[in-house]
Amino acid sequence: MDFAVYCGSKYVHVCSIRTEFGQNVAREYLKFFEFERMSLDEGLRQFLSCFMLTGESQERERIMAHFSDRYFMANPDLFPNAGIYTTLHTQEPHFNISRGKFSLG
């Protein structure tokens, strides 16, 4: 984690670039974070404590997507499906889920 704090501001811009190199740097950088058994807000606070999230909203979204992927990999049993919660924002019937399936348990 110390390395992540030290180098965070150096890597955040590269991680937000939509290239294969940027994706690889982001994946490797996030391996320094141990999100296992952490609540979502604890993990997010730890992640964002390493650098200032600046830039355009698209760059911020890419950084947060990398965080989401890593957090989900570290806590696979926390959410039954990584994309399930985005289904609440669609009106298409085949994407809607029941209230019981949405429960976090």
Catalytic residues: 56
Query: Helix (H, G, I), strand (E, B), or coil: what is residue 35?
Result: coil
Nearest Cα neighbor of 39 from 73, 75, 67 is 75
Whether the CB-CB separation of 4 and 41 falls below 8 Å is answered with no
